[in-house]
Amino acid sequence: MFAINSFGLCLAQHKCLCTVFDITLSKHSAISVTGSITSLLYFMFPVIDDVKSLRAVVNPDVSKIRNIGIMAHIDAGKTTTTERMLYYSGYTRALGDVDDGDTVTDFMAQERERGITIQSAAVTFDWKSHRINLIDTPGHVDFTLEVERALRVLDGAVAVFDASAGVEAQTLTVWRQAEKHHIPCLCFLNKMDKPAASLSFSMESIRQKLKANPVLLQIPVGRGRDFTGVVDLITSQKLIWKLSSAGGDGRLFESAPLNQSDEPDLLQEVSEARTALIEQVADLDDEFAELLLTDFSDNFDAVPSVKLQEAVRRVTLARKGVPVFCGSSLKNKGVQPLLDAIISYLPAPNERHHDLVRWYKDDLCALAFKVLHDKQRGPLVFLRIYSGTLKPQTAVHNINRNSIERMSRLLVPFADQHVEIPSMAAGNIALTVGLKQTVTGDTIVSSKASAAAAARRAHTDSGVGKKHGEHATVVLSGVEVPDPVFFCTIEPPTMAKQADLENALNCLQREDPSLKVRVDPDSGQTILCGMGELHIEIIHDRIRREYGIETHLGPLQVAYRETVLHKATATDTLDRTFGERRHVVTVELEVRPVDMTAGLCDVAFTEEAGGQLSQEMKEAVENGMHSSYLQGPLLGYPLQGVTTLIQSVHMEPGTSPAMVSACVSRCMLKALRLAGGQVLEPVMSLEVTVGEGYLGSVLGDLAQRRGTVRDIQSRHDDKVLLATVPLAEMMGYSTVLRTLTSGNATFSLELDMYEAMNVHDQNILLKRMAGLL
Ligand SMILES: Nc1nc2c(ncn2[C@@H]2O[C@H](COP(=O)(O)OP(=O)(O)OP(=O)(O)O)[C@@H](O)[C@H]2O)c(=O)[nH]1
């Protein structure tokens, strides 16, 4: 099927049902059904005759935009839920299925094959005259950075839970990330069709584990296989999906007010839940409490739905509570009310406070939050526009790179379909072609002059503005990139392919800042550093598929760190003559251990040393320090938990800064050796959910892996084992666990901290590294 938009662009319709017009202008009409004036069947087809101007399509009013993330633990059903959203909004013709590998958002080959989400795909669609930019994020811990990048630019999030499992390990991680960015959330208890699904269990686990305040807005109708719909506690409407035994696509559902012919148990449950809801909201929102006390103190039932809904919205935006919804995406129930809720309860971009953006007033200010490489079009950069308007065929200024770039095209991302548009205003998420230097985290503005004007305003008003070359700048904060925990060597099949491999790795690094590539200074080998086994495996696979290079990976190794045991002082003198010039410098410094959890190493100067050195020489000393911190004396791993005090630096006139740096590095090495080295290893927190019958074998195996069990909890018929275990012992764990439990276990692994190795284990490691074992 083909469709022509008004630019004359011919869109090959891979899975699209509608053109850009249909998608953005869909209107959902309600028609009454014979026999009941209150019973409504909702039609979810777009109505084509309600065509507005193209401007409305491209730039909806900012109050009608929702930039929403969808996040959860692996396999909770994010992709399945997203697929339903696209389908009901009229964007896709058929329901994509993760199990059949034909979803729209999981469009990478590996995602479809493995049934997991790796890259967060941005999808734009419209629902009830609102523009929803939705990001489907990966649940696997190896791709946490993808979630973080998405959250940075979102205004709200939907957390999807497996209602039979409640809060799982990765949910906790992404929830904390959302909290860090102050993002209002909704909870969707998915998989209500599972026999073990439990509303009360899930609510309790949200309370206990997320320390959140769940505000229940729906009661499920029927349990397990008999789950047929929900009662909306705001309106007291019963929404029922009458699907045949063969299923159905769930587009049609019945909506009717609860009445006395309904089951007494349900009536009772709804009545109690609505009263509890009203009391809870009154506790959280003063305006609603006042209304209740003045007008409805003796009859809560008379509280107008609209007032209750407004109060829930205020509570959600203030992040005092999180509305909870129920459904079963796979069985096509409950997704349309979730879409309604996104519009009703989550904020529009103009309802969120973005601190630094105000200095740009109406000038363009956007943040690059994702880069993808497209073979034909080159790098595609996803931008969140915070202020001003973005137009193609214009030059923009990248503040972080201090460069001018030309944007050739501007697109709206419909998963793997991209639709070209002439401009895009603040609040939106855009996909740009032509930005060749921009990487994730960069701030894009219209010109150098506009950046300088914003910096001046910031400086005058509050002293904000970072030094950047000669100019003070106002840049948006990017995404913190965690340090990789695994690394391995990577080799091309022949030396002739080395340049191609470097190009592939450069492209992949721009897309994925958690992938680090370095060259080993001794062996000259290329080293790939990543967040986990799966991460490295996927990178390897992508190099083969997308760049056509068959590479060889060396054995996977753990990224250890080092620290020092004691305080030590050292002095060193460097005396070199190069040509006519003599360089003489003497350095005295002291290293000592500090709290390891602080992570980074730092450097300080005594008052005397600091006072004598010029800024240039101070920087030279710091450069020398930082290069020493990257290579510990025991095994050459980076140092952690060390502080250095520069006691004196004496130099003869004419000594170059490079010589000062070299002397500091040499002196550091002496001091570090005297201070005694200690290897730190990454220790992971492990959560295993396993059938009770297999718990013994899992525990036995864990003991052999130097694991420490922290807790064993019960979850229905399963046990949830919480433990810490050194990463070095976890290679290939997924295969072993599958064998031990006949596939009846799932696990998640996340970096907990770096811990000192005991003497015995450290000696074994040192011998192994020296090739003695
Ligand atoms: N019973 C039941 N299964 C579901 C439901 N929703 C999704 N599933 C199944 O759960 C599995 C995981 O679904 P996905 O949609 O891939 O989950 P995800 O959260 O996107 O997973 P990742 O992308 O790997 O993080 C698939 O086998 C789905 O068919 C549901 O409502 N009920």
pLDDT digits (tens, 9 = 90+) for 43-70: 333 333 332 333 344 578 899 999 998 8
For residue 76, give the ligand 1 atom closest to its CA: 19
DSSP 8-state symbol, 690: E
Q: Is the CB of 79 under 6 A from ligand 1?
A: yes
Residue 617 main-chain phi, psi, to 5 deg: -75, -35
Q: How many Å apart are CA 210 and CA 213, to the nearest integer? A: 9
CA 142 to centroid of ligand 1, rounded, Å: 18
Cα end-to-end distance, the chain, whole Å: 64
On whether the pTM is more than 0.80, the answer is no
Q: How many Å apart are CA 650 and CA 585, to the nearest integer? A: 6
Nearest to 301 by CA among 341, 254, 258, 345: 258
**Given a cut of 70, is residue 20 above it in pLDDT?**
no
Residue among 71, 79, 106 whose CB has most ligand 1 atoms within 8 A, to mutate? 79
Nearest to 388 by CA among 428, 351, 436: 428
Q: Is the CB of 95 under 6 A from ligand 1?
A: no
Q: Is the CB of 72 under 6 A from ligand 1?
A: yes
In the chain, the domains with their CATH numbers are 1-56 (no CATH), 59-258+321-351 (3.40.50.300), 355-473 (2.40.30.10), 486-546 (3.30.70.870), 562-675 (3.30.230.10), 680-769 (3.30.70.240)
Q: How many Å apart are CA 468 and CA 359, to the nearest integer? A: 17
User: Both tokens of residue 387?
Assistant: 């202020």
pLDDT interval class at 314 (50, 70, 90): very high
Q: Does 214 belong to an annotated binding site?
A: no
Place of tokens 């700048």: 473
Per-residue pLDDT at 311: 97
User: Both tokens of residue 161?
Assistant: 């839970």
Total residues found in the chain within this entry: 773
**Given a cut of 90, is residue 37 above it in pLDDT?**
no
User: Both tokens of residue 274?
Assistant: 């609505």
Q: Is the CB of 333 under 6 A from ligand 1?
A: no
CA 115 to centroid of ligand 1, rounded, Å: 9
**Given a cut of 50, is residue 22 above it in pLDDT?**
no
Q: Is the CB of 542 under 6 A from ligand 1?
A: no
Q: Is the CB of 103 under 6 A from ligand 1?
A: no
**Given a cut of 90, is residue 285 above it in pLDDT?**
yes
Q: Coil, helix or strand for 487?
A: strand
Neighbours of 402 (CB within 10 A): 14
For the stretch 115-129, pLDDT in tens is 434 344 577 888 998
DSSP 8-state symbol, 318: T
Per-residue pLDDT at 469: 41
Q: Does 651 belong to an annotated binding site?
A: no
Q: Are 81 and 391 in contact (CB under 8 A)?
A: no
User: Which residues pair with residue 124 across a beta bridge?
Assistant: 133
For the stretch 644-688, pLDDT in tens is 999 999 999 889 999 999 999 999 999 999 999 999 999 988 888
Task: Identify the H or E element spanning 147.
Answer: helix 144-152
Angle between helix 695-704 and 733-741 (nearest 10):
150
Predicted-complex ipTM score: 0.97
Neighbours of 19 (CB within 10 A): 21
**Given a cut of 60, is residue 489 above it in pLDDT?**
yes
**Given a cut of 80, is residue 617 above it in pLDDT?**
yes
Per-residue pLDDT at 725: 94
Q: Are 512 and 145 in contact (CB under 8 A)?
A: yes
Q: How many Å apart are CA 103 and CA 479, to the nearest integer? A: 28
Q: Coil, helix or strand for 595?
A: coil
Q: Does 220 belong to an annotated binding site?
A: no
Strands 30-33 and 36-42: antiparallel
Per-residue pLDDT at 457: 79
CA 77 to centroid of ligand 1, rounded, Å: 3
Per-residue pLDDT at 30: 28
Q: Are 773 and 639 in contact (CB under 8 A)?
A: no
**Given a cut of 80, is residue 695 above it in pLDDT?**
yes
pLDDT interval class at 221 (50, 70, 90): very high
User: Which residues pair with residue 221 across a beta bridge?
Assistant: 229
Per-residue pLDDT at 442: 83
